[in-house]
Amino acid sequence: MKNVVRYACQECGNVTLKWQGQCHACGEWNTIVEEPAAEVSFVGDGAGTGDRPESIGAIDDSQTARLASGIGELDRVLGGGFVPGSSVLLGGEPGIGKSTLLLQAAAGYARSNPSSEVLLVSAEESKPQVRRRAERIDALAENLLLYCESSCERIAAEIQDRKPAVAIIDSIQTIRSGLLSGAAGSVGQVRECAALLASTSRASGTSLVMVGHVTKDGALAGPRTLEHLVDSVLAFEGDRRHGLRSLRAEKNRFGPSGEVSLFEMEASGLVEVADASARLIRDRRPEQAGSVIAVAIEGHRPVLVEIQALVSSEKNSAGRRGVIGIESQRVSLIVAVLESRAEVSLGSRDLYVSVAGGIRVEDPGVDLAVALAIASAASGVPVPTGLAVWGELGLGGELRLAPHGKRRHEEATRLGFSLCMSPNIGGPGGDISGSEVPHRGGGVISVDVLEEALDAAGLGGLKTGGSSAVEG
């Protein structure tokens, strides 16, 4: 069959049959390049492995014990460690610490398992450069093998011959296959190289970890099929100007997705943050308007985060909106509910909302904290000291129960927050009974609608003249 020329977007991997100036899938300009399609000879040629069906209960899984890296927070996000034969994609911005994290993990496993080999493939740095970095962060080990190569076929052959316990590719965008045209990092090269390395590692029982670059929007660069090809996708995030980093499991076939771990970047490398809540709120000024503590559930554990809001004075032009750490559309929804249901007018005022510490929060249970932070910033009145909140906000202004209320309450109490606000605690579906905590005052305030929450936090009386339910 004759090769068919097609065109692929270098940002998102969308494929078209003709060239376009703008990609209709991601909206980027001048990112579509020509890519020859793979030649197909016969239908089914080369497909399959010759395997035969057998009872799933009779399959021996004794060889799939987890491989602990020695970095507890990394192993927790992975679900207990690396799985033999699995493939992991680690994405993050340049300079965020991906290579440092994996170098520490490789050395940790190599030291704990001197009879096994760990293969570190670097296509971006020379051997002396990697050696100096490993020495700086104390990541030297005799059975940690460094291989500087950019040929995908040679890397696959090395994995097949040595059968290392763990193989790290840094990075998938910098290696290329000699069987395909196009530069390293192109859509076709990334897809085919990742597929070859994943299949080779699966056959060799090697845990494969590939470093991936991200686009300016934070999405993994390359085709979307790359994320479907691997077993786990990890996102390493943070502000390069600050030391705090977060590792999030976006996808995990062998463990829970959504798990988050925190690390601190220091001169000696990445250090695990054992108490994430205490670290994230340690610099908070409780008397500041626009600051509210939310108890979020990230993965399977509760985490206290500080939601900050800033509202400017009235202007003649349309107000600007800036959001960091939370989905911007969700903040727009909360603003609309505040204006429509609680009569908190923002008009043409600028609004900025941020999660302190540079981490990203996906839990809808922080809706109530965002609403209170915006109302507090707009009025200039801080919320009561020692208050922690959680709850999801509906379009009608109703507050919906957030799951794991008992665990959220215990985490807030552990950090010294004497007062919690949440919808319907002890009600249907709740996991804190009314006998365990009081309904109002002294421990937990139960609220049903947004206006009631504003009143309870001392923010509603500014318009209505009413009294708040708690004292700061």
pLDDT at residue number 440: 39
CATH architecture of 278-461: 2-Layer Sandwich (3.30)
List the chain domain ranges.
5-36, 66-274, 278-461
Residue with structure tokens 């605690």?
425
CA angle 112, 121, 195 (to 5 degrees): 105
pLDDT at residue number 472: 42
For strand 5-9 and strand 15-16, is the pairing parallel, antiparallel, or unpaired?
Answer: antiparallel
Superfamily for the 66-274 domain: P-loop containing nucleotide triphosphate hydrolases (3.40.50.300)
pLDDT at residue number 50: 66
* CB contact at 8 A, 7 and 34: yes
pLDDT at residue number 295: 97
Structure-block tokens of residue 364 = 């809808």
* CB contact at 8 A, 205 and 63: yes
Query: Where do runs of H (alpha helix) occur along 222-360?
Result: 225-229, 276-281, 328-341
Buried-exposed string 206-230: b where 16+ CB fall within 10 A, e elsewhere = bbbbbbbbbbeeeebbbbeebbebb
Chain-centre distance of CA 201, in angstroms?
25
Chain-centre distance of CA 352, in angstroms?
22
Q: How far apart are CA 108 and CA 39, in angstroms?
A: 43
Q: Please give the backbone phi and psi of residue 156, each rounded to the nearest 5 degrees, phi first.
A: -65, -40
Q: How far apart are CA 439 and CA 423, in angstroms?
A: 11
Q: Is 147 helix (H, G, I), strand (E, B) or coil?
A: strand
| Residue 274 burial by Cβ neighbours in a 10 Å radius (0-12, 13-18, 19+) | exposed
pTM of this prediction?
0.82
What is the pLDDT tens value at each position of the chain, 472 positions in all?
A: 455 677 888 777 778 888 888 888 888 888 888 776 555 444 444 445 567 888 888 887 766 789 999 899 999 999 999 999 999 999 998 889 999 999 999 999 999 999 999 999 999 899 999 999 999 999 999 999 999 999 999 999 999 999 999 999 999 999 999 988 878 888 888 989 999 999 999 999 999 999 998 766 656 655 566 888 999 999 999 887 788 999 999 999 998 888 999 999 999 999 999 899 999 999 999 899 999 999 999 988 999 999 999 999 877 677 889 999 999 999 999 999 999 999 888 878 999 999 998 889 999 999 999 999 999 999 999 999 999 999 999 999 999 999 999 999 999 999 999 999 999 754 443 444 333 333 334 488 999 999 999 999 999 755 533 344 444 4
Distances (CA, A) of 54 to 58, 402, 422: 7, 43, 51
Number of other CB atoms surrounding residue 278 within 10 Å: 13
